[in-house]
Amino acid sequence: MNRKGESNLESNVIYMVLFLLVAVPLLVFVSANNGGTAFWEDFYSKEISRAINVAEPGSKICLDVTKGSAEGFDNDVSESEMFRFDNVNNEIIVKFRQNGATAYSYFNGVDIVDWEIIQAVGGREINQLCFRVVERQR
């Protein structure tokens, strides 16, 4: 084979390797977000944070979390793991997938207690996250 043919082969191999270095991480990212699970984690963490920020101490808040909890149940995430409130860091942590979660901060100086997911009597048609907002207990 002549020298020109060898350089074409080498450049094609280099382009293929570069293509794989770009394409594989892109495909992994797209497949991880394909089901929308990360979107729903982000959505609910921000909406819950917004509700906490406008809440007064003593309030009880119930939010419809049907779509997100359905994603969590489909990904075998337990009810107790789906929503967590970190009162020390003022964060809501939402987890609908096994290998990740989304945390979002709230700035209202309150603590969140007694949170639970209430499922509809007939199954998973309507799920609500209910929690109480109390004055900071530190």
Q: Dump pLDDT digits (tens) for 64-92.
A: 998 888 888 888 998 889 999 999 999 99
pLDDT tens profile 39-63: 899 999 999 999 999 999 999 999 9
pTM score, two decimals? 0.72
DSSP state of 101: E
Instruction: Give pLDDT, residue 79.
Output: 87
Tell whether the model's pLDDT for residue 37 goes beyond 90.
no
Question: Residues 22, 28, 33, 35: is their CA dihedral positive or negative?
Answer: positive
Across 6-10, 21-25, 116-120, which has the greatest mean pLDDT? 21-25
**Residue 110: alpha-carbon gap to chain centroid:** 23
| Residue written as token pair 């570069």 | 18
CA distance 95 to 97: 6
